[in-house]
A = this chain, B = another copy of it.
């Protein structure tokens, strides 16, 4: 349990050698100004560190801050009365646990670190105020919120209408896409810390069956996996085989369309 591209030293609160994942994601929704970026950095309060397997938020907690995953992976998960665990979503670097402007009175899930995690605490009231003060930042944050909502809808579609092999393929497409957006994919390869049991709990399958599905995918040559590192050989083929639709629609053609909402620059 080690290899993590986004490691402790990857968060340059000072330098600009490596872009923070959150800023990277945000800047895909709208061009951020230097002020916007500074503002975001200032709003990220103390950063906490969690070890693999640690619980970041427990089911039933009253949250006091937004939590921003700065590096590492985390699961939003829930245990059912029958003992089953359902992973609701996978949080990657740059992801917020909640919509940026508000906190729920109580969380109905728990948040668990899959790898070592750096998490920043943010006051939603301040972030909201920043979004209201800067049109570009507001635009970026709302866009990010829309993408999260679309991802949740996507998971519903996946669980409701795809068979087992398709679900697994879809997951790898999704991870490939999301990790690409934050620069964590190199030549089709990315870190993949999830175990097959985790994948099963995310996709509503059994561990055994996930194993067989992955063998099937490997047999087709679209995917390979070793030592916690996944490689997608043919993303096109995998995407069409597992009915994955690119999330680019959600970002690309945006510039003109939403100019009305917030003054974009450039």
**Chain A residues within 8 Å of B, Cβ to Cβ:** 62, 76, 78, 80-82, 84-89, 98-99, 101-106, 108-109, 124-125, 128, 132, 139, 142-143, 145-146, 148-150, 152-153, 155-157, 159-162, 201-204, 243, 245, 249-254, 257-258, 260-262
Give Cα A250 to B162, complex, Å.
31
Q: Tell me if B105 and A249 are in contact (CB < 8 A).
A: yes
Among B103, B157, B201, the residue within 8 A (CB) of A261 is B103
Give Cα A21 to B109, complex, Å.
28
Copies of this chain, whole number: 2
Q: Tell me if B160 and A125 are in contact (CB < 8 A).
A: no
Given A80-B161, A80-B243, A152-B153 contact (CB < 8 Å): yes
Among B84, B104, B128, B142, the residue within 8 A (CB) of A250 is B104
Give Cα A250 to B84, complex, Å.
23
- Find chain B residues with CB under 8 A from A260 CB: 125
Give Cα A250 to B108, complex, Å.
9
- Find chain B residues with CB under 8 A from A203 CB: 160
Q: Tell me if A102 and B161 are in contact (CB < 8 A).
A: no
Q: Tell me if B153 and A88 are in contact (CB < 8 A).
A: yes
Give Cα A261 to B253, complex, Å.
34
- Find chain B residues with CB under 8 A from A104 CB: 146, 150, 250
Interface core residue of A139, A146, A153 (most chain B CB under 10 Å): A153
Given A153-B88, A253-B106, A161-B261 contact (CB < 8 Å): no
Closest beta carbon of chain B to A139's beta carbon, Å? 8
Q: Tell me if B80 and A124 are in contact (CB < 8 A).
A: no
- Find chain B residues with CB under 8 A from A89 CB: 153, 156
Give Cα A148 to B250, complex, Å.
20
Nearest 7 A/B pairs, CB to CB? A160-B204, A102-B142, A159-B159, A105-B254, A152-B152, A86-B161, A86-B160
